Amino acid sequence: MQRIRKYAGMNRKEFSEWLNIPYRTMTDWELGNRTMPVYLLELIAYKVNHEIANAKEKQDASGRKNKQEHL
């Protein structure tokens, strides 16, 4: 979980709020005090990858638009 969170560029508080998961639950998962269901880890990984891909796509589209305006 920690690796996914860091890949998303968020601290634990931001990540738990973004996923709407209690902070304490997130902390327990990262520290190994509780076991996270595998399906949930897969869903979170999918969401992170999807959101990052969308952000990059928007950034690329914005960059293309700005280049066209300067021509």
pLDDT in tens, 11-66: 999 999 999 999 999 999 999 999 999 999 999 999 998 988 888 888 777 766 55
Other CB atoms within a 10 A radius of the CB of residue 12 amount to 16
Res 57: pLDDT: 82
Judged by DSSP in three states, 71 sits in: coil
Query: How do the domains of the chain map onto residue ranges?
Result: 2-70
Given 1.10.540, 3.30.1490, 1.10.260, 2.30.30, which CATH number is that of 2-70? 1.10.260
Buried b (16+ CB within 10 A) or exposed e, 24-40: eebeebbeeeeebeeee
Q: CB-based burial of residue 69 (10 Å sphere; 0-12 exposed, 13-18 middle, 19+ buried)?
A: exposed
